[in-house]
Amino acid sequence: MRKVWLIIGIVGLLWGLVWAEAETEPASTTTPSKEGLAEYEVVYQEHTVVPGDTLWDLAGKYLGDPFRWPEIWQLNPEIEDPHWIYPGQVVRIRELKRVPVKAAVEAPTVTPLPEAAEPELTFVIPPELPAFETTFRYRARTNMIDYISPHKVRTKGKIVEVWEGSHLLGQSDKFYFQYEEPLKKGDYLALFRLGKSVSDPYGGKGKLGYIIDFVGELKVINVEEVRKKIYYTGEVTSSESEAEATDWLTDTKLQTVDIVANPATVDKTGYIVEVEPSSGLNLATGDLCFISLGAEDGIQVGNTLLVYKSSPLKPKRHPRYLVGQLIVVKVAETASTALVTYAEKPLNIGDMVKTELP
């Protein structure tokens, strides 16, 4: 009997110790810390040009990305040609520097749509994304901007013989060609080639047309008549890419135009459907691309568009994210050529574009 009472006493003592420990243990009051976001502070600097400086180098030095050289050019309208800056010039540079905020900023809350509902077009701007510059200025040679034509462009002439016998043409190379319209010494023509056809895979427009790729420019330096046929001598004065003897010829005009941001008057959405041949698959600031919006949609030169990427998790359900900006530099009937003025991330074919309204 004593053994039974002894066992009962030991069990009671142990239970009391456990209960006391449970009563005195404090409850945890710590919560996971949130990483503070950052905001942007605008800083202006002045750089005095020294021999060897280029806007490309200055963008790499001050902005960390040489492809952002158009931002420096835009801020310095006295620079007429971005390829030429001179020692002694003072160049103004605008930087966006991250500075910590005092209080954490809550990220935008996204409420998923019900599975049975039709998805709506929604957008989210990440809080760390800086405001876009909408006063961008871009100087372009109008004949050198590729574009999408709804019809095949017909050549007006053909190269019949290259002086050096090469199939490829570079700066200052000369050749004989024939042309269906009369020309005189000093006239200029464009070398172009007909690229692949492009379709709109998302907007329902179907076939948009053919890429017209301008590859160079030539000057007529001589006119001769041989056996009642007129032969012209052409000299390559500039080339965007390596020209070929099989490239086509058409009229061109030597002119430069300023393309200034011009707020859109229509609320339209489209897609990046193709990239300019020399830009590569990943578009960065300064690259050209083609979008599925044109004159028939009310698009005009100078319109700015915002670029959105779909959610990688649920593209059809989650909101899209703002990642870049474009400015329209040439408008065709069904499509437009646009310059990337800002890219938070590499832009790609299939990214959605939306007109930026005032």
Q: Are residues 134 and 280 in the same domain?
A: yes
> How many structural domains compose the chain?
3
Q: Are residues 180 and 303 in the same domain?
A: no
| Direct distance between the N- and C-terminal alpha carbons of the chain, in angstroms, rounded to an integer | 94
157: which 2 tokens? 């002439």
| Boundary residue ending a domain (255, 271, 299) | 255
Tell whether 12 is covered by a domain: no
Q: What is the pLDDT of residue 106?
A: 53
CB atoms inside a 10 Å sphere around CB 138: 19
CATH number at 58 reads 3.10.350.10
| Boundary residue ending a domain (207, 228, 255) | 255
Question: Residue ranges of the chain with pLDDT lower than 50?
Answer: 1-8, 10-11, 13-40, 101-105, 113, 115-129
Q: Are residues 261 and 325 in the same domain?
A: yes
Q: What is the pLDDT of residue 97?
A: 58
Tell whether 107 is covered by a domain: no
Tell whether 14 is covered by a domain: no
Q: What is the pLDDT of residue 2?
A: 45
Q: What is the pTM of this model?
A: 0.58
Tell whether 137 is covered by a domain: yes
| Boundary residue ending a domain (209, 231, 255) | 255
Per the structure, the complete domain to which residue 46 belongs is given by: 38-100
Amino acid at 255: Q
